[in-house]
Amino acid sequence: MTDEKAEIRKEIRTRRKAYSSEQLKVMSEEVCRQILRHPYVRKAKTVIAFWPMPDEVDIRDAIKALWTQGKDLFLPRIVSDTEMILCRYEGEASLAAGRYGILEPCGEEEEITTFEGYREGLTEIVMLVPGVAFDIQGHRVGRGKGYYDRFLSGKQIYTLGVCLPFQKLATVPYERHDIIMDGVIG
């Protein structure tokens, strides 16, 4: 399984190189529009997003728009080799480079109490989840560290995988512990 996921990571890196920076920018802008139009994102009071790494879909414009709309916006901060926490996004100036050079919020960890019961209300909270590749069933290949799978384990939260179009595959390998996304944008 690990070898299959490693091959997919390699294949996606190769696919990415086929696009110019301008093409990647245009694709990211379209993904941002899709995020902002998504009915669950529009209705959500709280959105958990991610600050993109250089090789991920650039959702910074969507983050800024959601913050401007007054959403409660949170980003992850890596605190160990196995754990991430959520901190409130207070604008780009409040971010600093974290463990992997990713910009992360500098504030204190905040508990979000609306994880339980989202299925009844369906739109209380939405989490945008990055990935190397996704399939149409919502399976995800990440970077292999397991941060998102561990964080999401046992939480009832609407998960929306976010990627560029070339990162969507017919199928990707998955294991029992892998969290399946409720939807995928890209």
Per-residue pLDDT of 30-50, as tens digits, reads 999 999 999 999 999 899 999
Which pLDDT belongs to residue 34? 98
Judge whether residue 166 has pLDDT over 80. Answer: yes
Q: CA of 111: how far to CAs of 85, 86, 102, 118, in Å? A: 9, 7, 22, 16
Banded pLDDT at 117 (limits 50, 70, 90)? very low
Measured CA to CA, the distance from residue 182 to residue 43 in angstroms comes to: 16
Q: CA of 184: how far to CAs of 81, 101, 109, in Å? A: 27, 26, 27
Judge whether residue 116 has pLDDT over 90. Answer: no
Burial letters 105-131, b for 16+ CB under 10 A, else e: beeeeeebeebeebeeeebbbbbbbbb
φ and ψ at residue 2, rounded to 5 degrees: -60, -40
* Residue 127 · residue 146 · CB < 8 Å: no
Nearest to 105 by CA among 81, 83, 77: 77
Average pLDDT over residues 102-113: 74
Average pLDDT over residues 58-73: 96
* Residue 93 · residue 83 · CB < 8 Å: no
Banded pLDDT at 123 (limits 50, 70, 90)? low
Average pLDDT over residues 62-83: 92
